[in-house]
Amino acid sequence: MALFKRLTETHRPTLPFTLDGQPASGLLGDTVLTAVLTQAEHLRGSDFSAAPRAGFCLMGACQDCWVVLGDGQRVRSCSTLLEAGHNVRREPGRQV
């Protein structure tokens, strides 16, 4: 079940991407954070407990929304625009 439900702007072009190896899609103009949370319940695991996290400030200040792209680049999902073909890997967080 997705955490975010898109209510408007559904007319924008669809961008396919991969989320943890599974096909997913977002819309042109979405941040990676928005695209992931319209597909999944959480963005990543906590660095302290692996509890699910969904980002915090949503504006690039809190460091709570890092994901890894297919090229190994670690990015803030709240300030990175989704691109077609992105391969997004969520970090599981601390495994206790």
Determine the pLDDT at residue 41: 92
The pLDDT tens digits for 23-79 are 999 999 999 999 999 999 999 988 888 788 888 887 888 888 999 999 999 999 999
What is the rounded CA–CA span in Å between residue 27 and residue 12?
6
Domain ranges of the chain: 14-89
DSSP of 29-94, one letter per residue?
T-BHHHHHHTT-S-SEE-TTT--EE--SSSSSSSS--EEEETTS-EEETTSSB--TT-EEE-----
How far is C-alpha 44 from the geometric centre of its chain's CA atoms?
Answer: 8
Q: Please state which architecture CATH assigns to domain 14-89.
A: Roll (3.10)
Record the pTM: 0.89
